[in-house]
Structure 1
Amino acid sequence: MRYSMLTIKSSRNGKFTSALIVALLLSIVSLASIAEEALKPLTAEKTHKTAIHDMVDQLNRRHYVKLTLNDDFSGKLLDAFIDDLDPNRLFLLKSDIDEFQKYRTRLDDELKKSDLSAGFYIFNRYRERMIVRLQYIQDSLAKTVPAMDFNVNEDIELDRTDAEWPADQAEANEIWRKQIKNRVLGLRLAKKDDKAIIELLTKRFKNQIKRMKQLEAEDAFQIYANAFASLYDPHTDYFSPRISENFQINMSLKLEGIGAVLQMEDDYTKVVRLVPAGPADKQGQLQPADRIIGVAQGKKGEMQDVIGWRLDDVVDLIRGTAGSFVRLEVIPAIAKSDETHHEIIIERNEVKLEDQSAKGEMIDITDSDGEVHQVGVIHVPTFYLDFEAYRMGDTEFRSTTRDVHRILGELLSQGAEGIVIDLRDNGGGSLAEANGMVGLFIESGPTVQIRQANARVLREGKRRSSPYYTGPLAVLINRMSASASEIFAGAIQDYQRGLVIGTQSFGKGTVQSVNALGHGQLKLTESKFYRISGDSTQNRGVIPDIAFPPLYNKEDIGESVLDNALHWDRIPQTNHNYYFDLKASIDTLQRKHEKRIAKDPDFLFLQEQISIVEGLRNKTHLSLNIDLRKKERDTQKVQQLAMENRRRVAKGEEPLESLEEDSADELAMSDEEVEAKAETDKDDEDKDKEPDPLMTEASHILVDALPYFLPERLARRP
């Protein structure tokens, strides 16, 4: 994927943006009148010219996509760079954009000559505009905040990425007036008084101004180089020396932290995904697309507001030694305004191989005739291989294929009538292990096709016939199943060896390599995955045979969301067996599935939640009237409580009087008490553990499909 653990890149839909803060200017004045110390313009260093020269050379020779540095490319680079700097069009004016048009056909020529002057000129203008704007706002807060009227009916545009650039200062001032008013309203609804609001925003703006003044030439170059790299595809990145060091730490899985993949989006630190079996994943509250707005150390540390911070600075705050606690203030993914947030307490730890290893369990499923069936479930959080043990000649080295083979044998010996492979939230890993695991379920044959930049196609898979599991099989995927997971699920589907159940997968069907530059490193895309059917996994991902309601919003998460993502296409299929005629079963299985979930409280609850989220996502404006905002917030709480109680009553449980958060109670505890509570909760969870609704339904579908897995239909040629 484009991101590594707790760092790498921020994004315009997955691309670099600078640290900036949504704020406002109340009165229409000329910013030119604001006294501001002169900033020394940043200029490219010799090392940056060396790096851009090497980047141009490597991208031209090695990238899967062959682009030509011409005037058209130059215009795209100009637009991408400006969008990365000011994605919500809050700082630069139309006059600035008009002035920058002189570079529209020149950037390609400058790149060929390793000339970075245009990029630095644009960056310096943006930096100056931002500092002047934030300085004025900071100085004005004491007067503007108390004077705000929240009884008037007006609203704010939530997404300005496609808005017109402010025509002049007066128009920019009005945009900022609403921006800061929205911030203040959110803080008021969070029960902060004007004094506290002014202190918080003043501190926030001071920090941002300080960081902008401290920016170095390396920062400007990194943004420009990444705007250039991203035109090839969203997984091609420039790593500065500092980022390169972090990348190596992250890839070794030795980082002690919370186990989350983060990116910058506008002025927020956004969660891209959680590392399977990492501290955040185990804690259970942090979710993909959540936004982190504050970080505090331990139970008693002061919460530091991190809106507008650089990504690597936020990462440094979140990192820490194993056993220590970090508190995160988070705006949930579905929230449209700042007043909806909560604190999460996570104990830092090292993500260990044994925690990420495959695990098995048995689920009892009662069919429509009342007969009980046993279904074996194998959870595979990542495709791993203990390379160090393997290199040392350890015959007991851990790997996904070896562990799944062992668990499979155990479950079958316990009477499992079918197997579900759970690949939800599995972001990939070792391609060799994905191929090896497919080999546990087919006699022999190809698993994946890899098309290189020179159009050569390589095929990998199980080369020799050997014993394999021949019984009923299903694969459960979701939007966070990516890369190697998509290779496995796609192969099982193409062979008609098993059913694929869940939601459309991520769609990352490309392969990257990291290459040294004269300064920093370049990660570039060099090849592309194709299924044995000839279909690419790129962009489209794997489409399940039986679809579940999506827990993750496809418009926010996935390859198709990223700018310049490579397109989906096909190459010729490779010869392979069809093991069963599972396509003939889909209509029947779908009808049974729909009939069952129509009465399932958990599925009904999930569908209601998705409906509410869809409504929130479709909102383009947010009211700045405090009574209307309270009404909207209270309505959402009533809806959530009613939904939860409908689910509880349907399951024979007592309804709740209100929805409460555990975090408030935890904040009153010591670190030792929190740790003890976490252990108690884990013990209780282990005792009362039940299969989750999606896994239960996937198992039901597999039981329904048992008649379609007939031994005499094995291994037939097409």
Structure 2
Amino acid sequence: MTIAERIMARHSSANTSRSGICKALTVALLFTAATGLQAKMDDARVYEPVAPTIDQARANILIARQLQFTHFRDLGMSDELSGDVFDAYLEYLDGQRIYLTQEDLNKFDRVKTQLGSALKTGQLQPGFDIYNLVQQRVIDRLRFALNLVGQGIDQLDFNRNESILLDRSDASWEADQQALDELWVKRIKNAVLAQRLNGADDETIEDNLQRRYEGQLKRAYQARSEDAFQAYMNAFTGMWDPHTSYFSPRTSENFNINMSLSLEGIGAVLQSDNEYTKVVRLVPGGPASKQGQLQPADRIVSVTQEDEKAVNVIGWRLDEVVDLIRGPRNSVVTLEVIPANASDETITKAIAIKRDEVKLEEQSASKDVIELERGGSDYKIGVITIPTFYADFQAMQAGDPNYKSTTRDVRKLIAELEQDGVNGLVIDLRNNGGGALHEANDLVGLFIDQGPTVQIRNANNDVQVLNDEDPSIAYDGPLVVLTNRMSASASEIFAGAIQDYGRGLVVGSQTFGKGTVQAVRPLNHGQLKITQSKFYRVSGGSTQHKGVIPDIEIPSRIDKKRIGEDALDHALPWDQIEAVPHTRYFDFSGIIDELRKRHDERFATSPEFGLLQQEIDFLKKQREMDSVSLNMDERKNQHEQIERTRLTIANARRELRGEAPFESLEELEDWQDQQAADLDTTDDELDFVIREGGDIMADMLELDQHMASILTPQQYAAQTPTQ
């Protein structure tokens, strides 16, 4: 045990009168040791502050003008805005409040109220001063961490009744250097505990932590002027809305950092999230989507190439992480991620993904058939899954009469299903993040006569109405549309139009709520992606923020507090404009209560839903944990309880599939490793949510027949003009 640790051990049992002295001695000794050792190993490196360039100042002025005069939101440059930009900037640079102290923040009290006017005129130095201070504090912290690990983690005491806050984004800033030192001792203890509980020995843990902190330290010394400018501009542009952002010249080359289509990668959209790189969404048909383990909101900890050591990417720039993940086609990259549902950021899993291009045919719509019995009648329900709204623009422009698009493919699938004699149709839009707007417009047209499909309002309050001009209808039978939280943009336009027209029922969970339109505008230095208009349904309500609310709800594992437009800071609000004339094809008010009742009764006895609800409750309990113990015995008990629950849920799912249960957690993890190594874990079996969509459709058909038998022909025709 080091002198500092012995003092801390005494401090934990000391009386109140001695606690302040012990605390001061502990921090002083730890800091002195850290400084001394680091001076030996790193005395040659000095942080060089970054400074703004003339090109950046000019770009800043152009950005400010664009925001003020062309953005959808009318937001002035006020003192209040200055404070909000300051807070957002610190959120980006030190979102977990682990580098700066309250003493540091006090130095910027005067600057905090002046950022708005400075940004308006291209005065970037205040933002760069803040950036440089944070970088220096990052270096100080990492030096401290390296020293502590270098002394040997066996010197740390895990017998105390201590805990650490998992999410410090709303915590108070630590008062001074001493308090921050104590916090970092706890952070390192937490990292050590997590790896010990995962079976790593102390030598491996020390090596892992040293490589992690040395990698972050190297990045901190390599800070560039462009890093500071992009961070500062995004804190500024984010005041208008979360989809307005600045792209540096390098980032502009990889617009949206989207590793998809012609780019060889894993098919994922990534973004920075404090020190981490976070998965925003998966590209349908892409390698990650097909492999099945990577999920939205997972955070990437390390990247491993074939036959190489893992590279820790915490603290890396987004473009560098993307470059590391990309690679030759058919090669394998392994991502170590913190799962979105992890109880704390020390829980990770490895996911192996084979790189490939995302082929258009693998994003194409597909069909299936469900056969059901209801009230003595047999029903065949067609299912069409649409992963994205796509169109082969090159083939279209070349005049290819067989070019692929969502609408053309769905029309063909409908014709094939009708030849099979289906009685109803389910459209699955779950995890469909959108795509080509004109395809959403045309797809609505397959199910309605001529009419409006969506309204688009710009910053000048001018409203454009998109219409289906084709009077033909590809399918006029009963319809169910499945959605979830990852259904966004064009998916919401389609689902909202089907709901407004009374053309079908929306089933599932509330959609994402992305109801804005962006344009990319060139600057003298980089580009600005700016929100310029907003989508509205034909009934007048926006899809922004609220999304589409399903007629029949099915719970989801996805945490709505973390994923969705309403989970984003400064998101544009929901509002409404005038509705446009549109036909109501069916009034579901007479049967919706009975449909919901039958749905609830099925789910009350459904083993699949029972398991889903068990998972949701488990994940909710995990997310509600705001701290974890640093006591070894207590943490081990908590860890074992979580793992037992994981095993129970995994075995329950295997039982539903008629598979033998795992005897132990080790057996489960070995199986998961095999699945990851297999690189193709797709499950072709129709999931129970699709089957429930089919059951709801069968209920609709049965109730429709019942209504037809009790209503007069005139009443029935008035209620169901196109059925």
TM-score (normalised: structure 2): 0.90
The corresponding residue for 1:94 is 102
The corresponding residue for 2:12 is none
Alignment partner of 1:434 out of 437, 440, 445: 440
Deviation at 1:281, TM superposition (A): 0.7
Deviation at 1:25, TM superposition (A): 7.6
Deviation at 1:173, TM superposition (A): 1.3
Greater alpha carbon shift after TM alignment, 520-529 vs 390-399: 390-399
Separation of aligned partners in 2, 1:538 and 1:249: 23
1:128 has 2:128 as partner: no
Alignment partner of 1:279 out of 276, 280, 287: 287
1:405 has 2:411 as partner: yes
Alignment partner of 2:420 out of 409, 414, 424: 414
AA aligned to 2:51 is T
Q: Do the aligned residues in 2 keep the contact of 1:26 with 1:174 (CA within 8 Å)?
A: no
1:597 has 2:592 as partner: no
The corresponding residue for 1:473 is 479
AA aligned to 2:640 is D
Separation of aligned partners in 1, 2:220 and 2:526: 22
The corresponding residue for 1:82 is 90
Alignment partner of 2:358 out of 323, 326, 351: 351
Separation of aligned partners in 2, 1:297 and 1:661: 26
Q: How many residues align?
A: 681
AA aligned to 1:540 is K
C-alpha distance 665-692 of structure 1, shift in aligned 2 (>3 A): closer
Alignment partner of 1:395 out of 379, 398, 401: 401
1:532 has 2:538 as partner: yes
Separation of aligned partners in 1, 2:593 and 2:619: 29
Alignment partner of 2:62 out of 54, 71, 92: 54
- Equivalent residue runs for 1:612-651 within 5 Å: 612-649=618-655
Alignment partner of 1:693 out of 667, 670, 688: 688
Deviation at 1:503, TM superposition (A): 0.4
The corresponding residue for 1:115 is 123
1:543 has 2:525 as partner: no
Deviation at 1:305, TM superposition (A): 2.0
Q: Give secondary structure in 2 for the equivalent of 1:64.
A: coil
Task: For residues 314-355 of structure 1, give each alpha carbon's deviation from its aligned partner in whole angstroms, at most 9, with x where no partner exists.
Answer: 211111121111112222222123553322211111011111
Q: Do the aligned residues in 2 keep the contact of 1:581 with 1:708 (CA within 8 Å)?
A: no
Deviation at 1:560, TM superposition (A): 0.7
The corresponding residue for 1:511 is 517
Greater alpha carbon shift after TM alignment, 203-212 vs 28-37: 28-37
Separation of aligned partners in 2, 1:667 and 1:602: 25
1:164 has 2:169 as partner: no
Q: Do the aligned residues in 1 keep the contact of 2:190 with 2:346 (CA within 8 Å)?
A: no
Alignment partner of 1:329 out of 329, 336, 339: 336
1:289 has 2:291 as partner: no
- Equivalent residue runs for 1:357-396 within 5 Å: 357-367=364-374, 369=375, 371-396=377-402
Deviation at 1:111, TM superposition (A): 1.8
C-alpha distance 338-103 of structure 1, shift in aligned 2 (>3 A): closer
Greater alpha carbon shift after TM alignment, 409-418 vs 96-105: 96-105
Root-mean-square deviation (CA, aligned residues, Å) is 2.4
Q: Do the aligned residues in 2 keep the contact of 1:290 with 1:331 (CA within 8 Å)?
A: yes
Gaps of 5+ in 2: 1-25, 709-715
The corresponding residue for 1:459 is 465
Q: Which structure exhibits the higher relative contact order, with contacts defined as CA atoms closer than 8 Å and separated by 6 or more residues?
A: 1
The corresponding residue for 1:41 is 49
Q: Do the aligned residues in 2 keep the contact of 1:26 with 1:144 (CA within 8 Å)?
A: no
C-alpha distance 249-225 of structure 1, shift in aligned 2 (>3 A): closer
C-alpha distance 256-118 of structure 1, shift in aligned 2 (>3 A): same
Q: Give secondary structure in 2 for the equivalent of 1:350.
A: coil
Q: Give secondary structure in 1 for the equivalent of 2:605.
A: coil
Q: Do the aligned residues in 2 keep the contact of 1:89 with 1:165 (CA within 8 Å)?
A: yes
Separation of aligned partners in 2, 1:272 and 1:667: 24
Task: For residues 624-670 of structure 1, give each alpha carbon's deviation from its aligned partner in whole angstroms, at most 9, with x where no partner exists.
Answer: 1122222122112222333344455566654442356787579799x
Q: Do the aligned residues in 2 keep the contact of 1:186 with 1:337 (CA within 8 Å)?
A: no
Separation of aligned partners in 2, 1:422 and 1:668: 30
Separation of aligned partners in 2, 1:341 and 1:115: 42
Q: Give secondary structure in 1 for the equivalent of 2:481.
A: strand
Deviation at 1:171, TM superposition (A): 1.2
The corresponding residue for 1:240 is 248
Greater alpha carbon shift after TM alignment, 85-94 vs 105-114: 105-114
C-alpha distance 466-249 of structure 1, shift in aligned 2 (>3 A): same
Task: For residues 36-64 of structure 1, give each alpha carbon's deviation from its aligned partner in whole angstroms, at most 9, with x where no partner exists.
Answer: 65432211011101211111121122110
Separation of aligned partners in 2, 1:695 and 1:661: 30
- Report the structure number with the largest CA radius of gyration: 2
Alignment partner of 2:456 out of 450, 457, 464: 450
1:608 has 2:603 as partner: no
C-alpha distance 101-708 of structure 1, shift in aligned 2 (>3 A): farther
C-alpha distance 650-239 of structure 1, shift in aligned 2 (>3 A): closer
Deviation at 1:78, TM superposition (A): 1.3
Separation of aligned partners in 2, 1:647 and 1:430: 37
The corresponding residue for 1:7 is none
Q: Do the aligned residues in 1 keep the contact of 2:370 with 2:382 (CA within 8 Å)?
A: yes
The corresponding residue for 2:699 is 704
Q: Give secondary structure in 1 for the equivalent of 2:254.
A: helix
Q: Give secondary structure in 2 for the equivalent of 1:602.
A: helix
Separation of aligned partners in 1, 2:153 and 2:443: 60
The corresponding residue for 2:16 is none
Greater alpha carbon shift after TM alignment, 433-442 vs 125-134: 125-134
The corresponding residue for 2:277 is 269
Separation of aligned partners in 2, 1:217 and 1:164: 29
The corresponding residue for 1:146 is 154
Greater alpha carbon shift after TM alignment, 448-457 vs 657-666: 657-666
C-alpha distance 260-660 of structure 1, shift in aligned 2 (>3 A): farther
The corresponding residue for 1:304 is 311
Task: For residues 186-222 of structure 1, give each alpha carbon's deviation from its aligned partner in whole angstroms, at most 9, with x where no partner exists.
Answer: 1211222222222221121111111111111111101
Alignment partner of 1:316 out of 299, 314, 323: 323
Separation of aligned partners in 1, 2:544 and 2:679: 40
C-alpha distance 258-27 of structure 1, shift in aligned 2 (>3 A): farther
Greater alpha carbon shift after TM alignment, 647-656 vs 354-363: 647-656
Separation of aligned partners in 2, 1:284 and 1:53: 44
Gaps of 5+ in 1: 1-23
Task: For residues 645-698 of structure 1, give each alpha carbon's deviation from its aligned partner in whole angstroms, at most 9, with x where no partner exists.
Answer: 4455566654442356787579799x9xx5xx557x76xx5xxx4311110011
The corresponding residue for 1:203 is 211
Q: Give secondary structure in 1 for the equivalent of 2:229.
A: helix
Deviation at 1:423, TM superposition (A): 0.4
Deviation at 1:29, TM superposition (A): 3.6
TM-score (normalised: structure 1): 0.90
C-alpha distance 159-397 of structure 1, shift in aligned 2 (>3 A): same
